[in-house]
Amino acid sequence: MANLKSGSPSTTAAQVHHADRPRTHPEWLLFQWSLRALDVSDFSIEQMWVELLWGVRLQEALNSRLRECRLNRVRRPSTLNGYFERVASALGPFLQVEPGQGPMALWSGPYDVAAYAQLQGYTTLEGTPGGRVLARLELYRDAKAVAPLWKYLSREFVRRNPVGQAHVFVRAHNPRRPLYCRALPAVDKSAPLRPTIWHPVSSEQLEVVGTR
């Protein structure tokens, strides 16, 4: 989970996509072992892994295209990543809050906000079985090619937990964060009358996280 906390991959992150040779990726065995522990079939694990790596490869190309469009001031192209969307859907059953765990919580800001929500007894995406699997991975040296995956996961997280209040922990308002781009629209779409409880988080409150 170090990459989520720091916002960038470590120096040991994969330097190439490995999309053409997925089993040579340094995190393949970790991914395989983690999903086998959830009783996922080997066929589904391999299919998900291939989709994941091709999604990273596609996302890097999409990001490059977006930069060119901004520089040339031309129309923004589609940013849909079907690979990431399919991975999120396949992991859907494992993005449910486990029995006995606290209510579902969304968050925005540094990862300490998620950690704070968890300390208060809430379950964030990273606290679900499927979320824990992906939170252990770095996948690629370019964090911006991986980050959009969490937009799709956030939306699926909401879909898979449709009952009860939607709790939202925020450090600061940023409409470009996955919370606003995917998760909250999914709340409105799946359950328009679902209560949304906002929890502003201060710097003082985040200090509690640093002491743990």
Q: What is the pLDDT of residue 202?
A: 86
pLDDT digit string, tens, across residues 64-98: 988 887 777 767 667 789 999 999 999 999 999 99
pTM comes to 0.87
Choose among 22, 54, 67, 50: nearest CA to 146: 54
Token pair listed for 50: 């291939």
Q: What is the pLDDT of residue 163?
A: 84
Q: What is the pLDDT of residue 149?
A: 94
Distance CA 90, CA 13 (A): 24
CA dihedral 24, 28, 29, 31 (to 10 degrees): 180
**pLDDT < 50 stretches in the chain:** 2, 211
State in Å, rounded, how far the first CA of the chain is from the last one. 16
Distance CA 123, CA 109 (A): 16
Backbone angles phi, psi at 26, to 5 degrees: -60, -20
**Structural domain spans, the chain:** 17-210
126 C-beta neighbours (distance < 10 Å), count: 22
Choose among 75, 87, 79: nearest CA to 60: 79
